[in-house]
Chain A
C-alpha cells in the first residue's frame, strides 16, 4: 500500500526534557521520524520543549513548538497548523500519555485528526495495568500474579495473600518511578504511598516477585498487513529485580536454547498481533532458569530505550521504519537502508556481540542511595561491539569514562571477604567490580551465582578476563601473548600497567609486532549480502573491512560518550552539526562515539561511524587507520577536550583553537596570567596545597569563598563555605588535597551571573547574544534558569561583556566556539570561567537566534573567516521575544540525594520557554519543566537566618496574593515580627504532626527552603526537601527562583491564555542577518 492519501502535514509529539528513564534515545527516534516524514514530502509540525535536541532544529521539522506538552498546547497547535495526523509513539512515555490524554479530552474526536500508527486501543491495553492483565489472559500469555490497588490497605491485603516479596509498579510512570520491591508490610506501605502519588491515575500494581529469573527482551515490529518481525533479542545479565535500564544488557540473548528463544519469539509476535500494534514494540519477559516457565513482564508499544539499543546493535533503523509504517507503508515496501537491495521485512542477523552498560550519576551524588532495584537510576549508557563477550565487555568499561581500564577497582582490594559477600547481595552501581574482585579472590562461580543469580555463563566470561590478567602477570610478554591479550580485549594501558610499562611503550611494541586492530562492518545480515553502511567496530581479526580512499579529504569528529550530569545531549547536538557542516563543505566526516541513544551514532549521520571507546588508544587506532587531515575536539564536551593533550603529543593535528590556548584557559595559573595581562578582573583567589594554606587564603580573601579541586567536570565537588569551620570540614572530607591535587579558593561574589557563547575566526568575534541567569552566582550555570536576551543589565555592563569577550577570544586566538561566564558584583564585571569549546547552551542560543554556531565554528576550523561566511562580528541585535532555559531534575528517581542548588550541577535536562513577554516565557518554561505553580494555596517556608531579610518581603507579597503561609518557629517568628500572618508548624524533632507530615499529607502547594550550608546530609531541611520531591510538590531553594515564581503568579490570568508560535516564526520576527 502506498502512503496514506491526504497526508500532507503531520504533528509529531516529542518527549520533552531529559530525565532519568527518558534520555537522548528520543532525540534519535524523533530525528529519524522527522527526516522519514520530510523525505516523503510531508510537512512536519513538532511539539517538544527540549532545546538541546537535534529534532527541534528548524531544518529537521518545519514548525517547531517549544511549549508545554499538554492537551491545551496540542489543541492550539491543531487549530493553528491543521495537521492531517498525529504521531505519538516516538515521543516515549510522554508521547503515549499525550495520545491517551488527547483521547480522553475528546480532542481527537472533535478535531477529527487521526492518531497515526499505533492504535489508541493498543496503547491503553499495554499501559493500563488492568487492561494489560485482561489482554494477556485473553490470549493465554502468562503474567505474574498481580492485583491493581488504589490504597495501601488493598496492597497489604493482596501481598499477604500471595506472599512476599512483591513488586510495586505505579501505573503510567517513567522508568518505574516510585516503584520498588517490598519484603514486608512496612516496606510495602512506604513504597505504595509514594507510588500512588507518582501515578497520574493513582493506581499501582502489586505483583509476585520473579526476582532471579532471566530477564529477556524482544524488539518486534508489525505492519498493518499483520507482517511481524523480530529485530533483536536482548538478555539482561542481571536477572529480574534490577531495572533493565540499570542492567548490563547483551544482544543477542546468550543463554537461551533454541526452543526457549522460539517460545518467547512466538509469544511476542502473538502479543503484538493481538494488540494490532503498528510499528516497533518492546516485550519484556521473565524466564525461569530451570524450566520453560515464563512471564510477560511488560509491553511497550512505542520506540524506547531498548529499541534505540536494538537499532544500534543491529543496524536496523527502528524509528525510521516505525514512522514509515505509521504513514501507510508495509514492511516489505520499505527498502533496507543498509543493504540497499533487500527490504525492511527481515530479521537482522548479527555476527558480533553487543553489550550495553549503564552510566550512573553517583560520582556527582556521593550521598545518593546507590542500590539498584526496580527504579532506574542511570543517566546514560554506553554500547560496545566486538567479536567476543570479553572484548565487548572491556571496551564498554573503557567507554564509561570512570577512570578504569579493566575490571579491577583498587579500593575494593582492601575489603574483607565478608563485606564483599554482603556487597554482592545488594546490587549497586559497583556490582561489576565487586564480582570481579570476588572472582579474583577465588570465590567460585557457584557461590557468586548463588548470591547474584547472574548466569554462570556471564560470570565465567568475567573470570576469563581475570584469569588472563593473571597469565599476563606471570608469563613473558611475547608477540603471541600480546596478540592473544588484544584479541581478548585488554587495552594497551592495562597490559602496560601489568608489565610495568607505559601505554605509549606498549603501543609502540604492539605496532612493531604488527598487531593492529581490524575494523568490521555492522551490516544487519552477517555478511550474507553486500552492504556499504559505513558503520564499524574494531576487533583483532584477520581481515580489515574499513577500506578507504587515501586521496579524499577526511576529518575525525570526537563525540561525547554517555549522557551524564554535566554532559548531556547538547554535545551530541554539537557533534552532529559539526559532521553535517563538514559534509556540506565536501569533506568526509568520520565520527567516533559509543552512546547508542544518540543521533551521532546513526549510521547515516556521518560518512563513517566508529562505535568505539573515547580513550586515547581506541581513538588513535582510528586515526592511524583513516589518516584524517585533522581532528575536531570542540564539540564532544569534556570527553573530547580530555583527549586533546595526548592526541596533540602524538602529532595529531587538532583543528581550531590550539591545544596550547586550550590549556591557557583550563590551567589556573596560566589563566590568571592571561586575564591580568588583559586587565580583566576576576574574583580574587589562590591555589592551595594544604588545609592550613586554605585557611590562610580564605581569611585574606574574605568569606564566603568558593572551594573546588583543580580538575573538575560539571562543578563536581565544588562548595561555597561561609566560615572557617565549614572550610575545614570541606577540606578534610570532600577533597584529598596534596601537592598534585591542589584546591582553588576563590572569593564568592554574590552577584548576577552572565553567560556568553561566541564564535571567533581568530580575529572577528560574533556574539549571538548575552544570557543572564535568574539565580545568582553560586548556583551552577547548568542548574540556573537562563534568560535570553539578558533582561536586567546596565548598558555599561553590557558593553563590558562584549569588550571582555572580544579580548579573551582574540587573546586565545579562538578558531571556533568559546563560552565565557561572568559575574556582575557591585557594578563591576568579573570573569569566572573561559571555555574555548562548545558549551551546554550552544543549541539553545543557536535555535533562538537562528545563527548556526556549530556550522560557523566548523567552517572557521576549515579556514574560512566570518566575513567569508557573510557574518559580521560583534553583538548581534536583540530579538523582540524572550527565551528562557529552565533546568530539569530527576530527583524523584534518586533517593537520598539533596536537591538544594549549589555550585555542583544536578540537573539532567532542560526545557525552553519562549514568548514575547518575559513572565509568560518563564511561566511556560516552568510548566514545561514540570513545576506546577498554583495560584493559591499553602506555602511552607523554612528560611536560613542569612536569607531572612531578603525572603520576608517576597513572602509578604505572596501572602498578600492570598497564599497561606506555614513556617517552623524561627521563620514564623521573623514573619510575625514583620506583621505577616503565618501558622507555626513543628520541626521534625518536635514530634508529630510536623512539617514533613504536613507535606506528606498533601496539604502543601509549594515549599520554600533555603539551605543552612554545609555538606551534612540528613538534616531537617534535607528531609523536608526530599519529602517535597517524593510527593511532587515544587520546592524552591533559591530566593531568586522564588522571586520569578512570584512575578509569574502576579501575572495570574494573563499567562493562562498564552499564545503559541513556532520557533521559525519567532526567529523570523527578529530578522537576523544572512
Chain B
C-alpha cells in the first residue's frame, strides 16, 4: 500500500509500505553502508532513528540471528529504494520484511532515497514520520518534529543492559560499561583472551572498581552524550584509577569526563567507508561509523587531551588520548565485522596497556 515519509520541514517522499506497520516517527538519518543492513538495523546506536539506506537494493541475503549487532531491531523505521523480494543465502533464517514486521518496524520502499539523502545533507538530520496517508500534513510535521525532539534526552536507558553479565574466561578482566554495545565488541575482547563483565550504564564507579577490572571499556551507544550525566560522572571518577578505552558514544563520554565539550554534526557520519588518519604514523584506516556528535576542537586546550586521529573527509576528531592518564578513545567501531577489521589492533593496544 502507499506510504509516505513526512519530514518536519514539510518535504515528503512517496513510497510503498511493505509490512503491516502503519506509523512511526524518529530522527531521519542516512547510511552509505552497502552491505551491512542487518548490523545497522540491530545496532543500538541507531536507536530511535529512521534510517535511509543510500544503497538501493537492501535485504539480498535475508536475515539471520548470528548477524545481529544486538538482540533486537533498534531502528524506528527503514526507508529504501527497494527491499529484495527474493533474498537468497544459505544462512538466511527469515527475510527482511518478515523480520521487521515481527519487530513492528515499518519499511517504506520505492523511495527516491538519493533525493531524500540530498535533503538531509543540505538541511541536516531532522525528524520524520513514516505513515500511510497524507491527510493532515501539518499534524504530521509536528509529530515528526516531536519524534526528533524526544531523542534529545537519555536514550542509553532504553538500550543498556539491566543486569551484569560475564562473557569468556580469559586472563584479562575487562569491565564493559554498556551504553548500548554491540555483540561484536564483546566478541572482539573474548577473542583476545579477556573475561568481559558487562555492566548497566548506570553502574557507579565504586561498584565497577569492586569488580577489580584490569581495564574498562566504555561502549558505543545512541543519542546525545550530554544527556547521560551519570555515565560522565562515573567515568570522571574512574579517570587515572584504571586504564580506560572509549568507543563511539563512549569516546564522547570520556572526552566530556575529561572536560571537553561536544557539538552536533550537521548530518553525522554513518557508513562503512570513513577514512580516518592516525596522526602518529600517517596511516589511514577505513572505518565503520555511526555518530551524530563530535568533540569540539576549541574545548580541548587545558584538558590534557591529545588528538590522535582525524577524519580525512571533514577533519573532525576521531581519536584522542590523555597526555598522562591511561585513557584513549576512538569515535569509530574498531571491530568492524569481528575478525576481519584492520583496526581491531586497537583492542590489542588496549590490552597491552593494561599489562
Contacts and interface: CB of A to CB of B under 8 A. Distances in A.
Interface stretch (B85-93, B215-223, B233-241): B85-93
B283 interface: yes
B81 A387 contact: yes
B212 interface: no
Contact of B337 (A226, A262, A456, A530): A262
Interface in A196-255: 225-230, 252-255
Most buried by B among A259, A265, A528, A543: A528
A387 B115 CA distance: 12
Contacts of B165: none
A343 B342 contact: no
Contact of B36 (A258, A353, A528, A530): A258
Interface in A518-551: 518, 520, 525-530, 541-543
A457 B88 contact: yes
Contacts of A542: 13-14, 112, 115
A368 interface: no
A353 B337 CA distance: 24
Contacts of B117: 351, 526-528
Interface residues of A, number: 57
B308 interface: no
A529 B269 CA distance: 11
Contact of B56 (A253, A388, A528): A388
A353 B30 CA distance: 18
Contacts of B85: 460, 464
Interface string A488-519: 00000000000000000000000000000010
A975 interface: no
Interface string A376-413: 00000000000111000000000000000000000000
Contacts of B28: none
B54 A526 contact: yes
Interface residues of B, number: 52
A263 B340 contact: yes
A854 B90 CA distance: 55
Interface string A324-347: 000000111000000001110111
Contact of A330 (B57, B82, B121, B282): B282
Contacts of A228: 342
Contact of B112 (A350, A526, A543): A543
A332 B86 contact: no
Interface string B315-355: 00000000000000000000011011110000000000000
B113 interface: yes
B273 A347 contact: yes
A258 B35 CA distance: 6
A230 B286 contact: yes
Interface residues of B: mostly helix, strand, loop or mixed?
loop
A346 B273 contact: yes
Contacts of A230: 286
Nearest to A460: B86
A886 to B, nearest CB: 46
A526 B55 contact: yes
Interface string B30-70: 10111110110000000000000011110011000001000
A259 B90 contact: no
A527 B88 CA distance: 28
A387 B39 CA distance: 23
B340 A266 contact: yes
A474 B288 CA distance: 48
B54 A346 contact: no
Given A331-B284, A343-B275, A457 B56 contact: no
Contacts of B60: 254-255, 457
Nearest to B111: A542
Contacts of B228: none
Contacts of A252: 34-35, 55
A261 interface: yes
Interface residues of A: mostly helix, strand, loop or mixed?
loop
B128 interface: no
Nearest to A389: B57
A352 interface: yes
A813 B273 CA distance: 56
B114 interface: yes
B122 to A, nearest CB: 9
B283 A225 contact: yes
A591 B108 CA distance: 36
Most buried by B among A348, A349, A352, A529: A349
A255 B92 CA distance: 11
A259 B337 contact: yes
B312 A343 contact: yes
Interface string B216-256: 00000000000000000000000000000000000000000
B277 A332 contact: yes
B271 interface: yes
A268 to B, nearest CB: 11
A285 B272 CA distance: 22
Contacts of B84: 457
A350 B34 contact: yes
A254 B57 contact: yes
A342 B313 CA distance: 5
Nearest to B278: A227
Nearest to A347: B273
Nearest to B91: A257
B235 to A, nearest CB: 31
Contacts of B91: 257
B39 A258 contact: yes
Contact of A257 (B13, B67, B114, B341): B67
Interface in B135-175: none
B114 A351 contact: yes
A265 B283 CA distance: 18
B88 A255 contact: yes
B118 interface: yes
B101 to A, nearest CB: 21
A350 B271 CA distance: 11
A100 B108 CA distance: 56
A265 B340 contact: yes
Given A332-B277, A387-B81, A543 B340 contact: no
Given A226-B283, A387-B56, A262 B336 contact: yes
Nearest to B342: A269
B55 A351 contact: yes
B273 A349 contact: yes
Contacts of A389: 57
Contact of B38 (A255, A258, A527): A258
Interface in B269-306: 271-275, 277, 282-284, 286
Nearest to A352: B56
A227 B86 contact: no
Contact of A332 (B36, B90, B312): B312
A359 B85 CA distance: 30
A345 B112 CA distance: 29
Contact of A543 (B115, B273, B284): B115
A289 interface: yes
A257 B115 contact: no
Contacts of B340: 259, 262-263, 265-266
Contacts of A525: 32
Contact of A345 (B61, B81, B275, B339): B275
B342 A258 contact: no
Interface in A258-310: 258-259, 261-263, 265-266, 269, 289-291
Contacts of A256: 35, 61
Contacts of A290: 90
Contact of A266 (B39, B61, B271, B342): B342
Contacts of B272: 347
A84 interface: no
A528 B274 CA distance: 11
Contacts of A227: 283-284
- Interchain residue pairs A-B with the least CB separation, the first 8: A543-B115, A262-B337, A266-B340, A347-B273, A349-B32, A526-B54, A262-B340, A460-B86
8 contacts: A230-B286, A262-B340, A262-B341, A266-B342, A457-B88, A526-B271, A541-B114, A543-B112
